[in-house]
Amino acid sequence: LICLKVRFPAKVTLLRGNHESRQITSVYGFYDEILRKYGNINPWKYCTEVFDYLGIAAVVDGKYFCVHAGLSPEIRTIDQVNTVERRMEIPQKGPFCDLMWSDPEDIDSWGVNARGAGWLYGKKVVQEFNYLNELSVICRSHQLVQDGIKYMFDRTLVTIWSVPNYCYRCGNEAAIME
């Protein structure tokens, strides 16, 4: 993906997700894979430094808000997203954490997320964020959905999962959005 970004800088935008962190890459095997293949951890260090510079959200065509996970009770506007310090490891709490870890749920407002990070957010939260920022849809990933795509809240939020048969065991479909 980085090569595509270099080749087509105006056409490819890479966004950071919760797995683009030192902690998660250490737990889920990327660190070990790098050490096994290269005999040292320098390539892992370089990759994780690149992660620190990835964007945390993007607006496409003025109406699609793209983010890895979701919203934060501390962020109401796109301008506030732009002020979030991202050149660091993803923190355990706060707006940066929320954008990487929060999940939509069939509730009205905000709720505690069982993941232990981020929040649960509902239809009214999504509608208010979209209205204040003149958006149509929040586009996210972060949660496996069996059909590869799942709309919520009268199609004002969509979850897109692009990995088929996640971990070779989930039997899910994958999707992309055009």
- Helix and strand element counts for the chain (H, E): 7, 8
How do strand 64-67 and strand 137-140 relate by DSSP bridges?
A: parallel
**Distance separating alpha carbons of residues 8 and 40, to the nearest angstrom:** 31
Residue 19 falls in the annotated catalytic set: yes
Show contacts of 172-177: CB within 8 Å, 24+ apart. Answer: 172/144, 172/145, 172/146, 172/147, 172/148, 173/146, 173/147, 173/148, 174/148, 175/147, 175/148, 175/149, 177/139, 177/149
Active-site annotation holder among 19, 76, 86, 150: 19
**Distance separating alpha carbons of residues 91 and 85, to the nearest angstrom:** 10
Residues known to be catalytic: 19
